[in-house]
Chains A and B, each alone.
Chain A
Amino acid sequence: MPSYQTRIGARIYRFDDLKSVLACASPRRSGDELAGIAAADDETRVAAREVLAGLPLRRFLDEPLVPYEDDEVTRLIVDTHDVPAFAVVAAMTVGEFRDWLLSYAATTEALAALAPGLTPEMVAAVSKLMRNADLIAVAAKCRVVTGFRTTLGLPGCLGARLQPNHPTDDPLGIAAATLDGLLFGMGDAVIGINPAGDSLADTERLLQMLDELRLRFDIPMQSCVLAHITTSLRAIEHGAPVDLVFQSIAGSEKANRGFGVDLALLREGFDAARTLARGSVGDNAMYFETGQGSALSADAHHGVDQQTMEVRAYAVARAFKPLLVNTVVGFIGPEYLYDAKQIIRAGLEDHCCGKLLGLPMGVDVCYTNHAEADQDDMDTLAVALATAGVNFLIAVPGADDVMLNYQSLSYHDVLGLRHLLKLRPAPEFEQWLQRMSLADANGALPPPAQSAVRRLLALDAR
């Protein structure tokens, strides 16, 4: 039985097991405190990091945090671990791994080659030793390119999910928000609707509307109605125009069961979407959402800290070659991430950890009204993520989602980031924006001419 302890001055810090080291090494957050697994004080936190820094990476292969026998996510992680890819870092401790990730040796190519050799637990562990700037710098070196009808994650690009939600799924209301977003160049990652209900009929109606919009304006885009995967499967059976199959996922078998899914069902959705082959430039057809705290809220965290559980969800996503993975970081509420400091940190962790595992990470830069955060804080996180090379961000009209009742980024915010940081939409989408006289030759979108607005709106939904 390995021992986890360190001495700081006269005091000896002992941790019961590996998951206790990880939980205590995590930056302070309300969810781990709610679970009763957080460090009791700040010095204990640093002591845990001391212990963690000295642990060999291999320890995470030898000592699963959630038992192999009990959990299919652990089995997925262990059974698909790529040993040859792991070789380059196999002899390192967690602390040495951090230094290596930041070193010039860890190039974009080296990191891409390493990704299949990393497990979520290794990635979560090293992130706990990284400052926010480290999380940005390492993520910026990762490149994860995926495609469907647009190509996402290319250097110099910043994608946007256009999120035109409506409290009653009113098609005209959704069309209004969609057209407004297109005028800002949003939607190259996906036009994705969270349906207010989960009925098959509503889902099919919305899918049909978005597909008609796509065909009418010949937009290189993919649409998604974020219904439960079983609803999407039935929509596919009915012949509805399903581009992407969506599902919320988490980091343990039990937590996924709380979402009404398991790996077999996800595989079914993956196969169905692939068979449709509706993509033109790529065949990544899954869209996953995750968020720290989801395992704890389902009482399915196995005593593991919420950030490590989150990274385990990325192992689930990785198995299905998604087009998009979105962490809804500030959405879950202050009992998991209390304030802007915790939300900002978690957003940068999720993005970096997902990228290290080879996922096309996007972030919903957001907060609820009972969290200690506001739009100024979202500005900070959005600039940091865009600098870190995030694949896409969520954009809603005026930053106010009138269906889900929370605040994200506005169309304005994402457009402003693109212009500020010289980032562009996905190339196929940018060419369409230029054809519609919305984007200039550099891919920038100045305020549109009335003629361009009328062209898009004249054919609006009736």
Chain B
Amino acid sequence: MSDERAIDSARDPFARLRQATRARIALGRAGDALPTRALLDFQLGHSRARDAVHGAVDFDAIAERLPTPSLRIRSQVRDRAEYLRRPDLGRRVHADDLAMFAAGRGAFDLAFVIADGLSAAAVNAHAVALIDACWPRLHGWRLAPLVLGEQARVAFGDEVGAALGARIVAVLIGERPGLSVADSLGVYLTWDPKVGRSDAERNCISNIHADGLSPARAADTLIGLLTAVRRIEGSGVAVKADTAALASLSRGD
């Protein structure tokens, strides 16, 4: 083992340092430029990230796999180009779809929203797995119909949660893709959702993907946070300040 390492670092002085970071270090040089291998690796990462941003979530397939019936709700955004330019429209429910909430409205503890956000790949890959991991552990919670949000941002959940009459909204959303991870899912929790909530009033679990937080571990954290939010009757800074709750969460897995 130690012999192997010695040989490696004789050939590649960066052998040990490479283990310490995902950053693209010690790529070599073609003159002053990137060697072809590194150039194409970069382009592959960027292409995946762009495909994730511009791809479509297969909401039909997701609806079929979910453990509960769902409502399909559009934001006010017409297409991806508008989604990227107009975050304000992605936060609001389409006027024609508001009526769909009438049937679903009730007194709920929690509403889940699955929103496409900035990575269709993340939602396609991880959203159902996360819901599946949470569902059996939510006995005793009054759960609103699950909402599938098209062209939706995090704050879309505020209007949805209010329309459903839910005390907490949890928005599962595709995160902005990086070069090395294009399918990272995030979850945002908001107590007493209503239009105009600020990001400081939310709690976030991020980096749910194959090389990050698994759906099972994310579910542990999510259940812990949900419990804390319900107990404190607040989210965001209020929960972050509750260090005991957070400490028990981080050791929870």
Residues of chain A touching chain B, judged by Cβ–Cβ distance below 8 Å, are 30, 33-34, 164-167, 170, 172-177, 179-180, 334-335, 338, 368-371, 374-375, 396-400, 402, 405-407, 410, 412, 415-416, 419-420, 447, 450, 453-454, 457, 460
Q: Is the Cβ of A335 less than 8 Å from the Cβ of B84?
A: yes
A14 vs B179: C-alpha distance in the bound complex, in angstroms? 46
A450 CB to nearest B CB, Å: 7
Residues of chain B touching chain A, judged by Cβ–Cβ distance below 8 Å, are 13-14, 17-18, 20-27, 29, 31-34, 38, 42, 45-46, 49-50, 52-53, 84-88, 118, 176-180
Which listed residue (B25, B42, B45, B176) contacts A180, Cβ 8 A? B25
A166 CB to nearest B CB, Å: 6
Q: Tell me whether chain B's interface is mostly helix, strand or loop, or mixed.
A: loop
When A369-B50, A454-B13 are in contact, do A177 and B176 touch as well, CB less than 8 Å? Answer: no
When A176-B18, A369-B50 are in contact, do A398 and B86 touch as well, CB less than 8 Å? Answer: no
Chain B residue contacts of A453, Cβ below 8 A: 13
Which listed residue (A33, A335, A405, A412) contacts B178, Cβ 8 A? A405
Which listed residue (A34, A165, A166, A398) contacts B38, Cβ 8 A? A398
B34 nearest CB neighbor, chain A only? A412
Chain A residue contacts of B17, Cβ below 8 A: 172, 175-176, 179-180, 457, 460
Chain B residue contacts of A335, Cβ below 8 A: 84-87
Q: Is the Cβ of B86 less than 8 Å from the Cβ of A415?
A: no
A307 CB to nearest B CB, Å: 17
Which listed residue (A338, A412, A454) contacts B32, Cβ 8 A? A412
Q: Is the Cβ of A412 less than 8 Å from the Cβ of B22?
A: no
Chain A residue contacts of B29, Cβ below 8 A: 412, 447
A117 vs B29: C-alpha distance in the bound complex, in angstroms? 47
A179 vs B25: C-alpha distance in the bound complex, in angstroms? 9
A396 vs B178: C-alpha distance in the bound complex, in angstroms? 14
Q: Is the Cβ of B21 less than 8 Å from the Cβ of A170?
A: yes
The 18 listed contacts between A and B (C-beta, < 8 Å) are A33-B85, A165-B23, A166-B21, A175-B20, A180-B14, A334-B85, A335-B84, A335-B86, A338-B84, A338-B85, A370-B53, A397-B27, A399-B42, A402-B22, A410-B24, A412-B32, A416-B33, A457-B14
When A33-B85, A457-B13 are in contact, do A369 and B34 touch as well, CB less than 8 Å? Answer: no
A457 vs B20: C-alpha distance in the bound complex, in angstroms? 14
Q: Is the Cβ of B33 less than 8 Å from the Cβ of A412?
A: yes
A447 vs B177: C-alpha distance in the bound complex, in angstroms? 33
A371 vs B32: C-alpha distance in the bound complex, in angstroms? 27
Q: Is the Cβ of A34 less than 8 Å from the Cβ of B85?
A: yes
Chain A residue contacts of B118, Cβ below 8 A: 370
Which listed residue (A369, A400, A447, A454) contacts B24, Cβ 8 A? A400
Q: Is the Cβ of B21 less than 8 Å from the Cβ of A400?
A: no
Which listed residue (B24, B32, B180) contacts A419, Cβ 8 A? B32
A461 CB to nearest B CB, Å: 9
Chain B residue contacts of A368, Cβ below 8 A: 176
Chain B residue contacts of A179, Cβ below 8 A: 17
Chain B residue contacts of A167, Cβ below 8 A: 22
A201 vs B10: C-alpha distance in the bound complex, in angstroms? 36
Besides the known contacts A370-B118, A397-B25, 18 further A-B residue pairs in the complex with CB atoms under 8 A apart: A34-B86, A34-B87, A34-B88, A166-B21, A166-B23, A167-B22, A172-B21, A173-B23, A176-B20, A176-B23, A180-B17, A338-B85, A369-B179, A398-B38, A399-B24, A405-B179, A419-B32, A457-B17
Q: Is the Cβ of B42 less than 8 Å from the Cβ of A402?
A: no
A305 vs B23: C-alpha distance in the bound complex, in angstroms? 36
Which listed residue (A33, A375, A454) contacts B42, Cβ 8 A? A375
B26 nearest CB neighbor, chain A only? A180
B152 CB to nearest A CB, Å: 15
Chain B residue contacts of A400, Cβ below 8 A: 23-24, 42, 45, 178-180
Chain A residue contacts of B13, Cβ below 8 A: 450, 453-454, 457
A414 nearest CB neighbor, chain B only? B32
When A334-B84, A335-B84 are in contact, do A398 and B20 touch as well, CB less than 8 Å? Answer: no
Chain B residue contacts of A172, Cβ below 8 A: 17, 20-21
Chain A residue contacts of B33, Cβ below 8 A: 412, 416
Q: Is the Cβ of A402 less than 8 Å from the Cβ of B23?
A: yes
Chain A residue contacts of B20, Cβ below 8 A: 170, 172-173, 175-176
A172 vs B86: C-alpha distance in the bound complex, in angstroms? 40
A166 vs B179: C-alpha distance in the bound complex, in angstroms? 14
Chain A residue contacts of B34, Cβ below 8 A: 398, 410, 412
Chain A residue contacts of B52, Cβ below 8 A: 369
A338 vs B33: C-alpha distance in the bound complex, in angstroms? 28
Chain B residue contacts of A334, Cβ below 8 A: 84-85
Q: Is the Cβ of B176 less than 8 Å from the Cβ of A176?
A: no
Chain B residue contacts of A454, Cβ below 8 A: 13
Chain B residue contacts of A338, Cβ below 8 A: 84-85
Chain A residue contacts of B25, Cβ below 8 A: 176-177, 180, 397-398
B29 nearest CB neighbor, chain A only? A447
Chain A residue contacts of B32, Cβ below 8 A: 412, 415-416, 419-420
A370 nearest CB neighbor, chain B only? B53
Chain B residue contacts of A371, Cβ below 8 A: 84
Chain A residue contacts of B178, Cβ below 8 A: 369, 400, 402, 405-406
Which listed residue (A165, A176, A370) contacts B84, Cβ 8 A? A370
A374 vs B44: C-alpha distance in the bound complex, in angstroms? 12
B196 CB to nearest A CB, Å: 11
